[in-house]
Amino acid sequence: MGFSEDIKQVKKNILLVANRKNKGHLPSAFSIINFVYHFYERKLNIDNDFVLSKGHGCLALYSVLEHFKYLTIEELFSFGDFNSILGGHPHLRKNKEIKASTGSLGHGLPIATGKALAAKIDQSTKKIFCLIGDGEANEGTTWESALLADNLKLNNLVCIVDNNQSQNRSIPTPHLERKFISFGWDVITIDGHNSKEILSIFDLRPEKPLCVVMNTIKGKGIADMESNFQEWHHKGISENLLNSYIKEIYEEAII
């Protein structure tokens, strides 16, 4: 299969898990799925680290890890069970590709900053990618990390901001590009649903820490979730919706 069909299969598995377990942060998972897929696609050849700071989007991570054989299908469908390694937020050491326990907002970027510093000390060529939500840009730890990364010249650190406008319902976070530039970072903006734009960031060689403002749509690919993402923030999928949503996914044009 081509990557677009692979992504559709990954999204289908997310829907199936949410149906069987009657829970999951689906819109958040669907806004980041393209990036997470392409990160692990590239990881087959380039061994970088990924920290999912917006841990509530974990179904995207889990389903991609299953696709690339870091998890079994049985482990994926154990999501949320009492003895499962896959909780509602990622748990460090439950799987080698889960690099941090996250979900409480503002924790992932400080951890990723420490990992980037450790890689520098070890003279490693590894890059550390950290994906945060737009709401995490309201957390003080985000900006403390940004200041530290600039001061330490951590040009091996990449912060991806999932700018899906979720935070507009409470405290909006506008002008993210200007904010990160003022903290000494290089900044680019991409369409988080465009594979060509996503893939372009992996080959960049910035001289500073890099922020990628990734404009996305919550619930991308399912019209009901896109237009009612607050209602769908955390819930399962009923049987009568499952097949129609899967059909909608397979009709989606992925670029």
Does the pLDDT of residue 125 top 60, yes or no? Answer: yes
Look at residue 238 in the predicted model and tell me its pLDDT. Answer: 84
The secondary structure of residue 231, as a DSSP letter, is T
CB 150 within 8 A of CB 116: no
CB 133 within 8 A of CB 103: no
- Cα(226)–Cα(220) distance, integer angstroms: 6
- 17-39 tens-digit pLDDT: 999 988 888 889 999 999 999 99
Mean pLDDT of the chain: 91
Confidence bin at 232 (pLDDT 50/70/90): low
Torsion of CA 50, 8, 200, 186, to 10 degrees: -50
CA triplet 180, 215, 118: central angle to 5 degrees?
45
Residue with tokens 């990992």: 115
φ/ψ (deg, to 5) at 51: -115, 120
Confidence bin at 167 (pLDDT 50/70/90): low
Q: Average pLDDT of 156-184?
A: 88
- The pTM score is 0.94
Look at residue 224 in the predicted model and tell me its pLDDT. Answer: 83
Query: Which domains are delineated in the chain?
Result: 3-251 (3.40.50.970)
- 192-231 tens-digit pLDDT: 999 999 999 998 999 999 999 999 999 898 888 887 767 7
